[in-house]
Amino acid sequence: MPVDGDATFSVIKNRLRCSQCNKSYLRKHTCWGVAHRGPPQFRSVPAPPSPAAHFQLLCNALLESPIPQAQNVLAVLETLVLRGVRPDRVDIVKSLIAASRVKASAISSRERLLNSAQVLLGEHAPLQLQIEVVQERSTLMRLEGNIEGSTRLIEEFLSHAPPAPADVIGSLYISQAKNFAYNFFFSEAHEEAKKYSPVCIEEKPELLWDHVYCVGRIMRGEGRFEEARQCFELCLKAPGLTESRRLLILSIMADLYCELDYQYGQRCTKTAEPRSDIFLLPAGHWLMEEMRALQSRGPSKGYRRILLSLVETEIRSGHNEEARHLVDKLLCMYNSLIAPDIVDRLGHVRALIAAARVSGLEDAEKFWTDALYWNNFYNPLEEEVFTCGVIYMYMCLGQYKLGKSSGSREYLEHARRVFGKKRRQFLIPGVGTYLLDFVINEVDTLTGWNCGI
């Protein structure tokens, strides 16, 4: 006999439910307690995390991972972004910014993460987040050598940004000052750096450190080596300094010591004072210690910086054989880089100049030529910089010593042309000071041509 609908509903309605395991039953059941909703083999499997939750977990993992694992996590993050994952915006933008700061990753990957962060932000995002994204993007553009793009990005943002205190927007002023310094516009760089004035030193120590570092770089670019040294000594004393920053400052300090040693020697010559090794000896000592500590870890950017500075101190100390061994290692490292950033491009040219300085006449000419070639390769849209003029002077000297007078005069004219357009620059140690002074004196003395430079 068919059961009528009301009777069926009555039976279902009168089922009981266990207060412990939440199971419904008619007469009796086997209870597995509060922690179970059934036998182990029938327990429900947790649902997989949503793409947004997966993204957040990966971001958290990225921030806590060592560099090799972080690169793998970064690749997964990038895939999720490309697939259009759009979780909570503010949290994810913060994670994307942090992910983009993993310096061991390719610049192109870091840029894509920041571009995704920019898209996620929209027009009405918190101003602080907008500033962070613009600042990081400007930094990556500068690392790629796109100084014009970095400058324009900051200018466009500031032209539309609402009024904000200097300590909020200060990172953009500092980044713009670095752009001007890269282009040797030091007056403009100082003006931009002055726009940031820290209200409270304890509030934003990272920003204050970057500001002091930036001012030090500007002063070094102007040839104000003693004042620059004071800035970098402050940077070195900052609490909680990361290893990458510590190595950066140590290498810059050693380069400054080479410049200060030359100035000190000139003073001693003029005043007939006895000269002691107050700069090169301590610089060489701390660089050697760092090199020994780093060489087992592989060719990092910090290691290359330390080696470059050590090469310079060795040459200045008259240890050419030691310098030649080190510069050979450096050139192998630079030749193996697939996509060097602006720092490593300059380092490569600097290593070639060092190689020329510790080589015989014929080998030196090859290294000088390679330095010119790579400078043009790395900066195809720029006219020859001041360093090129110094290289031409050394090629002029080399040609004359090899008995090639006509070639020597040709290189001298190239140098005069560059120096007629460019003022002295101090980007590479010695280029605007002891290297230039030496070669001008040598050419004048040997040829009697009166370089007029």
Buried b / exposed e along 109-146 (16+ C-beta atoms within 10 A): bbbbbbebbbebbeeebeeebbbbbbbbbbbbbbbbbb
Render the burial of 333-361: b for 16+ CB within 10 Å, e for the rest: bbeeeeebbbebbbbbbbbbbbbbbbbee
- At 399 the three-state DSSP class reads helix
| pLDDT tens, residue by residue, 85-120 | 555 677 778 877 877 887 777 888 888 888 888 887
Give tens-digit pLDDT for 380-400: 878 899 999 999 999 999 999
* β-bridge partners, 16: 25
pLDDT at 453: 73
Highest mean pLDDT out of 69-83, 131-145, 155-169: 131-145
- Check: CB of residue 97 under 8 Å from CB of residue 115: no
Mean pLDDT of 154-180: 92
Residue with tokens 């007939």: 272
- Percent residues over pLDDT 70 in the chain: 79
What pLDDT is recorded for position 405?
94
What's the rounded Cα separation, in Å, for the pair 13 and 372?
Answer: 90
* Residue range 173-200: mean pLDDT, rounded: 92
In the prediction, which pLDDT does 42 show?
Answer: 41
Structure tokens at 40: 């182990």
Instruction: Please report, for the chain, the start and end positions of each structural domain, with discontinuous segments joined by +.
Output: 5-41, 51-120, 126-241, 383-453
- The string of pLDDT tens digits covering residues 122-131 is 767 889 999 9
Average pLDDT of the chain to the nearest whole number: 85
Q: Is the pLDDT of residue 80 over 70?
A: no
Percent of the chain with pLDDT over 90: 60
Whether the pLDDT of residue 13 is over 50: the answer is: no
Please give the Cα distance from 100 to 94 (Å, whole number): 10
Structure-token match 């571009």, residue found:
115
Q: Which of 37-46, 169-178, 189-198 has the lowest mean pLDDT?
A: 37-46
At residue 102, the pLDDT reads: 76
Q: Are 450 and 444 in contact (CB under 8 A)?
A: yes
* pLDDT category of residue 298 using cuts at 50, 70 and 90: confident
Q: What is the CA radius of gyration of the chain?
A: 31
Nearest to 43 by CA among 28, 24, 21, 26: 21
Fold of 126-241: 1.25.40
Contact 249/423 with Cβ under 8 angstroms? Answer: no
pLDDT above 70 for 250: yes
State the pLDDT at residue 34.
46
**Mean pLDDT of the region 237-250:** 93
pLDDT reported for residue 40: 47
pLDDT of residue 110: 86
pLDDT for the residue 37: 46
Asked if 288 and 250 count as a contact pair (C-beta separation under 8 A), the reply is no
pLDDT for residue 415: 96
Q: Which of 24-33, 87-96, 296-305 has the lowest mean pLDDT?
A: 24-33
